[in-house]
Amino acid sequence: MTAPPKSATVLVVEDETSIASAVAARLRSEGYRAEVAHDGPSGVARCEALEPDLVVLDLMLPGFDGLEVCRRIQQRRPVPVLMLTAKDSETDKIVGLGVGADDYVTKPFSARELVARVGAILRRVERGGAEPPARIAIGALDIDRESRRVQRDGHEIHLTPTEFDLLAALAARPERVFTRQELLSEVWGVSGRNR
How many domains is the chain built from?
2
C-alpha–C-alpha distance, residues 84 and 108, integer Å = 9
Q: List the domain range (segments joined by +) for residue 143.
A: 129-188
C-alpha–C-alpha distance, residues 37 and 54, integer Å = 13
Mean pLDDT on 24-43:
95
HEC letters along 31-50: CCEEEEECCHHHHHHHHHHH
Q: Is residue 2 part of a domain?
A: no
Q: Is residue 83 part of a domain?
A: yes
Q: Is residue 4 part of a domain?
A: no
- Give the pLDDT of residue 48: 93
Q: What is the CATH number of the domain that holds 151?
A: 1.10.10.10
Do residues 17 and 98 share a domain? yes
pLDDT, tens digit, 9 for 90 and up, residues 108-147:
888 888 888 898 888 877 765 444 467 888 888 888 877 8
Do residues 69 and 79 share a domain? yes
Q: Is the dihedral of CA 61, 67, 72, 74 positive or negative?
A: positive
Pick from 96, 31, 34, 33: which is nearest to 61 by CA?
96
C-alpha–C-alpha distance, residues 178 and 182, integer Å = 6
> What are residue 12's phi and psi, to 5 degrees?
-105, 115
- Angle separating helix axes 161-172 and 111-128, nearest 10 degrees: 50
Which residue has better confidence, 29 or 91? 29
Model confidence at 37: pLDDT above 60: yes
Query: What dihedral angle (degrees, nearest 10) is formed by the CA atoms of 18, 40, 95, 130?
Result: -90
Q: Is 109 left (phi over 0), alpha (psi -120 to 50) or beta?
A: beta
The residue from 106, 127, 148 where one domain ends is 127
pLDDT, tens digit, 9 for 90 and up, residues 168-189:
888 887 777 878 877 877 777 6
pLDDT band at 23 (very low <50, low <70, confident <90, very high): very high
Q: Is the dihedral of CA 41, 43, 44, 49 positive or negative?
A: positive
pLDDT, tens digit, 9 for 90 and up, residues 49-94:
999 999 999 988 999 998 899 989 988 888 899 988 776 666 666 6
Do residues 34 and 19 share a domain? yes
Neighbours of 133 (CB within 10 A): 11
The residue from 90, 111, 127 where one domain ends is 127
